Amino acid sequence: MSERVFLLSPASCAGKRCRTLLEPRAEFELARRVRREGAPLGEVFSFLSALYFRGKLTYAVRFAAPAAGVPGVLVITPDRGLVAPEIAITADDVRAFARVPIDAGEPRYAEPLRHAALELRARLSRDAELVLLGSIATPKYVDVLLGVFGDALRFPSDFVGRGDMSRGGLLLRAARAGVELDYRPLRSAARRGPRAAKLPSAKRGARRGPPG
């Protein structure tokens, strides 16, 4: 198997769940940690995005195949490029993320991402694969990453025609089943397609987190 590193699109740092997390009087455990010492980026984004980011992170951790010394999972951030999901962030960091648009034409976003991608590319073998777990229908991630990784940049073909929640459910099921999805080169891919069929309903075995 060739080296495989997953690049995860970020969670939105706006909206109701973010306001719940940053509420100064919030007393649930994650909110307290974010206000004080910080909490892992992956945990914070999983709270903000719920099923979608949790699915991406669970799947990526399950199937990453990096070389020694290279991170197998990295998260795209609004202003810091690629960050490992275990890196702790605070409430101030989340607020800083919210101030920067995720837009390929925004230098505060695109330049750190391009710099981090170039550094990662230099650490990888020539046949390594970079798998983007995020939207390919817009240029906000694709334009920057394709410019660095070219044909090595891939995506799950089953993402086409699915919304965020459907993608999250698909990734969680694949991770739990231990069955990896099929990846296609992003450069030559059709980025839009007909709406995919809904996933079969599954029993919910886990309790929901704090309301938000």
How many domains, the chain?
1
Mean pLDDT, the chain, whole residue set: 89
Are β-strands 153-156 and 4-8 bridged in parallel, bridged antiparallel, or unpaired?
Answer: unpaired
As to burial, measured by CB atoms within 10 angstroms (0-12 exposed, 13-18 middle, 19+ buried), residue 178 is exposed
Q: Is residue 193 assigned to a domain? A: no
As to burial, measured by CB atoms within 10 angstroms (0-12 exposed, 13-18 middle, 19+ buried), residue 206 is exposed
Q: Is residue 129 assigned to a domain? A: yes
Q: Is residue 73 assigned to a domain? A: yes
The H or E element containing residue 60 is helix 51-63
CA distances (Å), 83 to each of 87, 116, 145, 158, 183, in order?
Answer: 7, 9, 15, 25, 23
Tens digit of each residue's pLDDT (9 = 90 or more) over 70-79: 999 999 999 9
SS (H, E, C) 115-142: HHHHHHHHHCCCCCEEEEECCCCCHHHH
Q: Is residue 42 assigned to a domain? A: no
pTM of the shown model: 0.87
As to burial, measured by CB atoms within 10 angstroms (0-12 exposed, 13-18 middle, 19+ buried), residue 201 is exposed
- Tens of pLDDT along the chain (212 residues)? 689 999 999 999 988 999 999 999 999 999 999 999 999 999 999 999 989 999 999 999 999 999 999 999 999 999 999 999 999 999 999 999 999 999 999 999 999 999 999 999 999 999 999 999 998 888 899 999 999 999 999 999 999 878 889 999 999 999 999 999 999 999 876 555 445 445 565 554 443 333 33
E strands along 17-150, which residues? Answer: 39-40, 73-76, 82-83, 88-89, 129-133
Q: Is residue 114 assigned to a domain? A: yes
Q: Is residue 133 assigned to a domain? A: yes
Q: Is residue 164 assigned to a domain? A: yes
Distance CA(89)–CA(106), nearest Å, equals: 22
Q: Is residue 154 assigned to a domain? A: yes
- Which two tokens mark 203? 């029993």
Residues 6+ apart with CB under 8 A from 55: 167, 168, 169, 170, 171, 172, 175
Domain hosting residue 115, numbered range? 4-13+50-87+103-185
Q: Are 166 and 137 in contact (CB under 8 A)?
A: no
